[in-house]
Every structure is written in C-alpha cells, then in structure tokens.
Chain A
Amino acid sequence: MIRKVIPLMLLVVLFLAVAACSAGQADTPETEDAAVSEDMSDMEEVVEEAPEAEDVQESEVDEDSALAAEIAKIEEEAGTKNFVPDFQGALERTSGKKFEGVTVVLFGASGQVDGLLPAARAWEAATGATVDVNDYPFAEVPEKMITALSTGIFIGDILNVPPYFAGDLMGGGLIEPVPDASKAVLDWDDVMAVYRENQLEWDGVTYGYPWDGDVHSLYYRTDLYQDADLQAQFEDTYGYALDVPKNWAEFADQSEFFTGEWADGKQHYGATMLLMRKNHGSEGFLSVAAGFNKMPDDPAFYFDPDTMEPRINNPGFVKSLEYLQDLLPYMPPDQLNLDWFGNLQAFVSGLTALDIQWADVGPMSYDETISIIGGSVGYALTPGSNEVWDARTNEWVEFPETNIAPYAAFGGWMNMIPANAQEKEAAMDLAIFLSSPEVLQYVSVTPGSGVNPARTSTFENEEAWLNVGFSGAEEIEAFIASQVESAEHPNAVYPLRIPGYLQYKDALELAISKALAGQMTAQEALDEAAAEWEVITDSLGREAQREAYLSSIGIDS
C-alpha cells in the first residue's frame, strides 16, 4: 500500500512544483514590463534633466582636474623632498584609453616587481584598470615562467624578467614584438645602446620594454685611499702610489694590502665579488675574464663564432680563474657562499676595501641599517689587463694602455608581453607607461628599488640622484660616470643569451666553484666545463646555437 501512496505523493509534489514555476513565468512579463516602465520613466527624467553642452564640458573638466589632483597626490606620496616623479608626463605617452574593469597581471621576482607598483598606481588611476602581481622569489622565476610558457599556461600579461631568456622566449616566438609606434612614444634613442641591442632585441626585432640596466663596476673606500699613512705604507711595500686599481694586477696588490687588522682592531679583507655557485657565481669570474680575454676588435667572447667551440678553457680564461684562486685569501672567508646581498653587505658593512658589483652599491651605502660607509665610496670602471688572450690567433697580445672590458653582468631586467597575455592592449599601455623616461628616472633614484639606469636621460637630472642620499655633485658625477662609461664602453661584454643559457651558466659556475675550492686546477675545471658546453651545444643543435650566438653578438650569419 505504502509503495503505491509514495509515488502518488511524489507526483502531486511534482505537479505543484510545475504549477508554481508556471505561475512565476506568468508573472515575469508583468515584472519586466514594470521594470521597463520604470527605466523609461528614469530615462524621461534623464532626458528632461539632460545637461547642456557646456555642462558636459564642465563635467569633463571637473573629471580631468580630479584625475590630475589624484595623480599629483600619487606623485607626492611616491616622491621625497629631493625628487617628485612626473607620472603625469609618463601618462601622456600612453594611449589615453580607459580600461575600466580590466586587470593586468605583472609577473616577476618578489622585491624586483614591487618596484613597479608605486608608479603603476598612477596608471591605474588614469585608466581605471587594476594591476595585479604574480611574483615569486628570484630563484624560482625561471622555473615558474618556463614551466608555464612551455605548457601554454597564462602567468602574466607583462613579464618582468632578465634578458638571458631572450634566446628561448624571443627566439621561440613566445613574446609580442614592440610596435614601432610604441618605440616612437618611448624616445627609443634615449635607451642606452648597450641595452637596446643586447637586452631588448633579438634578431633585429625589438621584444622588450626597458626597465633596468645592469653593469658591473668597481667600488672602493675613498677614506682608505685618501689616508696618507696607508698611501705611504703601500708605496713602501709595492713600489708605486696607492690609487684606484686600473688593472687586475693592481687590484690583487691592493686586495693583499688591505687584508689584515685595520685601525678599528678588527680583521678586514681586501676585496669581494660574486662567486657563489647558483647565485651569480659566474658574474665575478666573467668580470675578471673580460679584461683578460675581450679583444676590442673581436665581438665574440664565449664561443668561436665559426665552430661554436667554447673559448672558456683557453689560456685567457684559465689565467682569470687562476687569478681568482690567488685572490681568494684576500677575500672574506665565506666568499664562495656570499650571495648578492651577502656580497653587498660585506662591502657596505666595512668588511672589505673593494667590491665588484652592480650600481646598487652606491645607494645602498647610504642605508644606515646595513651600511657604515655612506659618503666614503668611490666609483670606477672594473679593472682590465695589459695582456689579453686573442682567441683568433691563439696568442697573448700586449696592450700599452690597459685593455678595459666592462662586463654588463646579468644584463638587467625588462618588461615583455607574452603571446598568451590575456589583456594585450592594456598590458602594452602599461608597459609604455612603465618604460617611459619619467618612470625610469623615478625608480632609478628610489633607494631599494633594485633598478639601475637603462636610459641616458636618467643621468641628466643630477639633482634627482640626491634622492638616494648621495653626498653631493662630486659623488653623483663620479657615480654617473662609472655607470655610463661602463655601459657605453665599446669593448663591453654582454652576458650570453642563447637558448640553454642557464645550463651553460651552471656548468661554468660548477667549474669556478671546483677550482676555487681546490678540488681541481683551473685548467682541469674549465676543460670539464668546456666539454659540458659542447654537450649542451650538440644537444640543442650546433648550427642553431651558432646562429643564435651570432645574432646575440650582432653578426649576420
């Protein structure tokens, strides 16, 4: 009995439910009519209250002035007493379009990508768009980006990344080219040639928007070099006057001289540079190797451009590594484990007299939380060598004047728009804004931004550099000179940027680390690295790699 009653009850419930739905539907037209009617009456009111043309203009003027006031407020908040950024000027270079409701995702390294945000607030205010950040620790950026792009996963509308991915990303067709119109509004000639050609371009096509320029320079303690007693002691010991080292031999003498107990009764060391494996460990070595190996009339440095045979185990590179082996006793005991910040800290905390580093040293020397040497830092080009190995003729060449070859270590950071960006138009607009001379001036003089100059105009406003705490015009001019001369030096060496860069780099860093730890001779270690480079080149295709290398150093294949 129950079995019959239950289906019957369910049937009744179903019927009632259908009836209820039908009633609801029957009501809908009335509701819609009512709504339309209300809208119409609203519209009538709107029509009745429609403003005159003058009122529209006034309203637009009000909006513009409100926006200008908001931008001015953002500029004021981002600036300091020494420097107020011109975000309004940067906005005038953009399309002026509104992107209400659009979210542009910035992908990059934590800390580095944060530097974009204060300026991006002005672009958000002007366009109505939102800027979101997808950031990861620096070491994880390659992993996240490569795995995402290789599987077609969206990771950001703008990638803020180093240029060593150029071969894989730009060469792999994964990046949108920068339109000529964008380059025109960005005063492209103002971007320093070294970054335009070696960072932002691939095979004659521009893919990157400038952000950060990077080049290694020499930093030294002016108070020590100006000390009369130390000058006399040095001259007695080494037979020549204590002056800023111009070649690596002088650098070694001075490193030895400054190692020991100083007037403060504490142990100090001569020099520090980046040698930690997997943390810029090849940058210090290549800064030295550039001087011993880069012939001014030979654009190639890492490979033989005809055969792609590595040059890194030739006598010039071996001498560079042996030089570092000899220099190691005059560096802090944990030199091989000093990462970028540890290296910086070693110098600005007063532990060493010399440092080979990026331009961050200048501003960071005024950060009193880590530095005790503010106002006592001198700036110069990295030393060179008077004898240089010519890999084309396989012989040492004597130079009457020191052969200087600054190393544009790491190569800086740039913004790129990936082919799978979801908001390309807005991303392009934001990229133009961020790479404008106005924004790059702001971030370059903002302490802790991690951004170094990539544009010539960034150096022109010397007063802006007071913002980082520099003591005055003399120091600013010395700082600027070291950066400009290094970046624009005709014999500058740029980092390798062909596919497989990180594999080549790791093999080289392993060799450097083995030799410096005394596990192998310099020759053995570099022979091993060169053999590994050959394996990598073959696995990626020798001819394809050769073409990429030639392209990267500006030679037509």
Chain B
Amino acid sequence: MMISVSRRFKEKSVEWSFLSPALIYIILLFVFPLLFSLGITFTNMRLLAADVNFVGLANWKRLLADANSFIVMKNTIIIAVLGSFVQYLIGLLLAVLLNKELKGYKFFRVSFLLPMMMAPVAVSYVIGKMVFSETFGPFNDILFRLGLPLFFWGTSSIKSMLLIMIIDAWTNIPFFVLVLLASLEAIPDDIYEAAEVDGASEWQRFRDITLPLVLPASITTYIIRALNAFQIIDVIRVVTGGGPGNSTESATLFAYDLGIKGQDIAYAATVSFALLIIVLGFVFVVNLIRSRIVPQFE
C-alpha cells in the first residue's frame, strides 16, 4: 500500500513538473492580469494618481447608468456579429468562385489575399480619409461625374457605420477566403461527380454538398473573426473617431479613451469586463447553434 502511494506521488510529481512551466505561464500572463483588472473595477484607480480606494460596485453602477456604454456595446455587436457574418458570406462566394479554377484564378487567389497583409491603419486612412473623402475623394468625384447622388457619410450614423464595415470587410474578407478555400479543396471531387450523375443542379450541389461540408470550418472561422472584430479600434479611430456623435464608437475605443487618455483606468476596466461578458455570451450562443445545426449534416 505504501509503495503504491509513493509511486503515485512520484508519478504525479513528474506530471506536475512537466505541466508547471505552462501553468506558470498561464497564471502569470492570463489569470493574474484578468483577476487584477477585475479587482481594479472595484476601485477608483487613475493613472498618475497615487491614491487607490475600494469603491465597491460604483463603477458597475456607473456602467449601467451610462447611456453611452450601451451605445458603444451596440455598435460593437453590430460590427462584430453582423459585419463578420456579411464578410463570411462574401468570403464564401469568393472562395467558391476561386475553387472553380476559372481563367486567371491564380492571379485572383494571390490578389484577394493582399488586403489581409496590409496594416489596417494604412488601409483605413487610404480608403476612409482619401477615397471616401466627401470633399476631395475620388469616389464622390466619380458619382458626381456620373450624375449620381453623392455619398455624404460624415453626418449620417448609418452611412458612417456602413463605411466602417466596408473598410473592415475589405481587410478581413481574405481571411474567410483563405480558410474556406482550403475547406472547399478538401471536398473530394467524386461526391460532386456522383451528384452530377444523379442529376443534381449546381445550386443543389452547393446547398446539399458544399455548404454542409464547409459548415464546421465556417462556424469556427466566423467565431475567430467575430472575436477579433469585437476588439475593433484602429479603423474607427482613423476614419470617424467614433462619430458622428458616438454612432460608430466601439467598446474598445471607448475603454481606450477612458483609461489611457482620460486616465480613468478603473472605469475602463469595467467597460472591458462588460465587453468580455458579451463576448462570452456570443461564443456560448454560437456554440449552441453549432451543436444544433452541425449534427444535422453529419
């Protein structure tokens, strides 16, 4: 009995010694910062201020009473959930077209990936501030020459949001194309050939073969992209600054301005935690949908 306990202890020790570097890494870089920032939400901590006092739930109460915090959360959800879904649809369409190996497909395969390799800040400035400049930009100039109504987005909440989503899509659609194209290429040709022999139309083959087989990759890709989009800050900061009003301001930009520029790091941490809760809720819902939909195709 003693020998058995001793051996088990030794085995466990070896296991823990192998695990410990990773555990220490996780605790130092993930768990501690997370708990520390959660702790900050119960204080009145400010950058450059020496005094830090416990204020209980004051920051959380402020968050719930702050109409602007709801607006920036709503904006973030629109950009992340809806924007990413539209990007997915366009990415899937492009991936299907590229998978058909039409004339010049190699050129398009490479060129579709270029936006992903460019810095979002540069893309935002070039597209948002130059191409779509209402006064000096070529886009409005072309519309004017064609006799079409000009695209004035500066005072329109919807158009400003649309512009942000266009720029974000331009940068991130290649991500969907890249992953979905790999997924499409993995589908064996003989399935399509069998369906063709059975008289299935192109739409039927897409609906009944392509879509179900790329669905697992689609959902994973969508979650990854949406998680990234929940943190959007660069495009908005460069193009609209969150305006007009705060109709395009994201939660991350809101927290950044509060915490780093405004030095109110405690309230900024509270906003960040609220965003984390929303993101966890989003992942839970998508996984729930996934667990209901994916088995139907398996």
Contact = CB atoms under 8 A, between A and B. Distances in A.
A63 B62 CA distance: 67
Contacts of A172: 48-49
A333 B154 contact: yes
Contacts of B156: 517
B261 A149 contact: no
B234 to A, nearest CB: 12
Interface stretch (A71-79, A201-209, A500-508): A500-508
Nearest to B46: A540
A380 interface: no
Contact of A517 (B133, B157, B241, B257): B157
Contacts of B231: none
Contacts of A506: 257, 261-262
A513 B244 CA distance: 6
Interface of B: 44, 46-49, 62, 67-68, 129, 133-136, 150, 152, 154-157, 237, 239-247, 257-258, 260-264, 267
B48 A150 contact: yes
26 contacts: A168-B263, A172-B48, A174-B48, A276-B243, A281-B241, A332-B134, A333-B154, A334-B135, A334-B154, A336-B154, A336-B243, A337-B134, A499-B49, A500-B263, A502-B257, A502-B261, A502-B263, A506-B261, A510-B68, A516-B244, A517-B157, A519-B157, A519-B247, A520-B245, A535-B62, A539-B267
A143 interface: yes
Nearest to A519: B245
B241 A276 contact: yes
B260 A513 contact: no
A515 to B, nearest CB: 8
A279 interface: yes
A59 interface: no
A336 B244 contact: yes
A311 interface: no
B232 to A, nearest CB: 15
A416 B60 CA distance: 37
B119 to A, nearest CB: 13
Nearest to B240: A337
Given A146-B47, A277-B243, 6 more contacts: A142-B260, A150-B263, A337-B154, A337-B240, A342-B129, A499-B49
A277 B264 CA distance: 19
A143 B135 contact: no
A517 B263 contact: no
Contacts of B267: 539
Interface residues of A, number: 45
Contacts of A539: 44, 264, 267
Nearest to A535: B62
A476 B155 CA distance: 38
Nearest to B257: A506
A514 B247 CA distance: 9
A351 B261 contact: no
Contacts of A168: 48, 263
* In the complex, the 9 A-B pairs of residues with the closest C-beta atoms, listed nearest first: A517-B244, A514-B245, A334-B134, A503-B262, A278-B241, A150-B47, A333-B134, A277-B243, A143-B260
A539 B66 CA distance: 14
A328 B264 CA distance: 33
Given A278-B241, A333-B135, A516 B155 contact: yes
B237 to A, nearest CB: 7
Nearest to B51: A541
Nearest to B261: A502
A308 interface: no
B50 to A, nearest CB: 8
A320 interface: no
A502 B265 CA distance: 13
